[in-house]
Structure 1
Amino acid sequence: MAVNFVIPTKMKAWVYREHGNVADVLGLDPELEVPKLQEGQVLVKVLAATLNPADAARVKGVFQLPGFSLPAVPGYDLAGVVVKVGREVKELKVGDEVYGFMWHAKKDGTLAEYAAVEESFLALKPKKLRFGEAASLPVVIQTAYGGLERAGLSHGKSLLVLGGAGGVGTLIIQLAKEVFGASRVAATSSTGKLDLLKSLGADLAIDYTKVNFEDLPEKFDVVYDTVGKGN
């Protein structure tokens, strides 16, 4: 049975018209144009979107893609329902529940009612995940997985995660144990999040407010720093 959606010409979206701190420059625009589709894109009715540190950097003007211009809509991650497909779309269809990201976006991101996204950057949403859960995954899980892969973590190696309770850190711990086969995973966090680290699979939870990881007698094959000096 075909599914049809009534698509408006205008939508609500969070927009910034100048660079600066997110709280100062981001505002709700109730009359933004619904994006037009290119042939290989699908139009997604956004039901959940998440923000990452990269979004704040983009709003501040720290980095931007070629061809970028203001005003713009922030946001890379999303989850929602396909309401229209371009002519070159092969797999997805109207009515599909999807999640993915818009890292390619030069101007308009996911903090809007609708988003035009390349089919290749989307996947069917797992049925056991809620939209909000699915939208929280794309950027952070790619960051976590890509870092572990580049660092050469493999079966039997040990890992130390600096900042294990953050969005990327929580996924690093799980991927290291369940996918990469790490023999031992240690992670740092503040006092109140040590139990979280253990529940995710960390063999050693380190309270960075009390212990300097550089003073640990134990050595690790890989160290993944999710914090960095700039944060």
Structure 2
Amino acid sequence: MAAPSTASIPSKNKAWVYSEYGKAVDVLKLDSNVTVPEVKEDQVLIKVVAAALNPVDSLRMFGYIKATDSPLPTAPGYDIVGVVVKVGSHVKKFKEGDEVYGDINEKGIDHPKTIGSLAEYTAVEEKVLALKPKNLSFVEAASLPLAIATAYVCLKQTGFSAGKSILVLGGAGGVGTLVIQLAKHVFGASKVAATSSTGKLELLKSLGADLAIDYTKENFEDLPEKFDLVYDAVGLCDKAVKAVKEGGHAVTIVGPVTPPATRFVLSTVDGSILEKLEPYLESGKVKPVIDPKGPFPFSKTVEAFSYLDTKRAVGKVVVYPIP
């Protein structure tokens, strides 16, 4: 994909913006007159091609991180893929024309960017980006950064390693689909179990789950088998702790925490996580999972958020193309 020349970068661009907190359907508006951000010395300007939506985007829009949020109005969006059209004076890794991807907010909920990924152009620090793997489409690459970092860093921090067993609650979701694959193919799990509804069990198996549990028919916490790690991606921590074997660990990324489980929050991200996982992405051992209802065109971003908020998406909800 050819990058626009520096001379053709506009001063204003289109972005989805909200000026008050609420549901996307009530507060998110398309603004054609948003100033294209200046590029700082450690940043690149990206012509955005695709963006993925994350639950944190909705939580932020609802006003749940007001205390540490950036001032409104803001254009949401963490996950990005696009083409570098301008580089800051200190940037070493990238040049104009490079296809890059990443989670643009290094410290997740601490003053995320005012102009996020749901804009035609945004300025992003070099250190949070990586080159897009050549075998991935723009849509596939957009779906990965925040979810794969949440999956990988949490597995690492909980001490998950080869030969251990894991149960993933919410195996068909954006993070769950990647936890299954990373646990199996990167960390060398001895056994991967995962939960989903009936229609998604085959997906779990295709991603590497040895045991796919239909939560509409079975209570995973009552199964005789227990696990070294239970990774709760759906907010069932009170049940998760009952499925842990002695000496094991339960961790949740959503909802209340039931001791002795712990909460995992991805505190910082950078491009090195994506670079480390690149061989698994390029070999196809770890595959992005895109919800079949998508991608949603840029004009349908509000509908994409409404769908994300149903919590029924399979894998990731992606907005593409961004004009």
Q: 1:130 offset after TM fit, Å?
A: 0.6
| CA shift digits 1:134-158 (9 cap, x unpaired) | 0110000000011111222111000
Identity %: 66
Q: Which moved further from structure 2: 180-189 or 221-230?
A: 221-230
Moved more, 43-52 or 59-68: 59-68
- 55, 73, 76: which one aligns with 2:75: 73
Residue 57 (structure 1) aligns with: 59
Tell me the amino acid that sits aligned with residue 83 of structure 2.
V
Q: Which moved more, 1:142-151 or 1:155-164?
A: 142-151
Structure 2 CA distance, aligned partners of 1:222 and 1:155?
A: 12
Matches within 5 A, 1:206-217: 206-217=213-224
Whole-Å separation in 2 of the counterparts to 1:23 and 1:136: 22
Q: TM-score under structure 2 normalisation?
A: 0.69
CA–CA separation in structure 1 for the residues paired with 2:69 and 2:82: 27
In structure 2, list runs of 5 or more residues that go unmatched.
107-111, 237-254, 256-310, 312-323
CA–CA distance in structure 2, aligned partners of residues 194 and 3 of structure 1: 44
Q: Return the offset for 1:191.
A: 0.3
How far residue 4 of structure 1 moved from its aligned partner, in angstroms, is: 2.8
2: distance between equivalents of 1:112 and 1:134?
A: 17
Aligned-partner SS, 1:58: helix
Query: In structure 1, which of residues 119, 124, 127 is the aligned counterpart of residue 131 of structure 2?
Result: 124
1:1-231 alignment, distance < 5 Å: 4-5=5-6, 6-64=8-66, 66=68, 68-104=70-106, 105-229=112-236, 230=255
Query: For this pair of structures, how many residues does the alignment match?
Result: 230
SS in 1 for 2:90: coil
User: Structure 1 residues 60 and 79, CA, compared in 2 at 3 Å: closer, same or farther?
Assistant: same
Task: State the Cα RMSD in Å.
Answer: 1.5
Deviation at 1:103, TM superposition (A): 1.4
Give unmatched runs, 5+ long, in structure 1: none
Structure possessing the higher relative contact order (Cα contacts under 8 Å, 6 or more residues apart): 2
Whether the 8 Å CA contact 1:3–1:94 is kept in 2: the answer is no
TM-score of the two chains, using structure 1 as the length reference:
0.96
Is contact 1:41–1:117 with CA below 8 Å preserved after alignment? yes
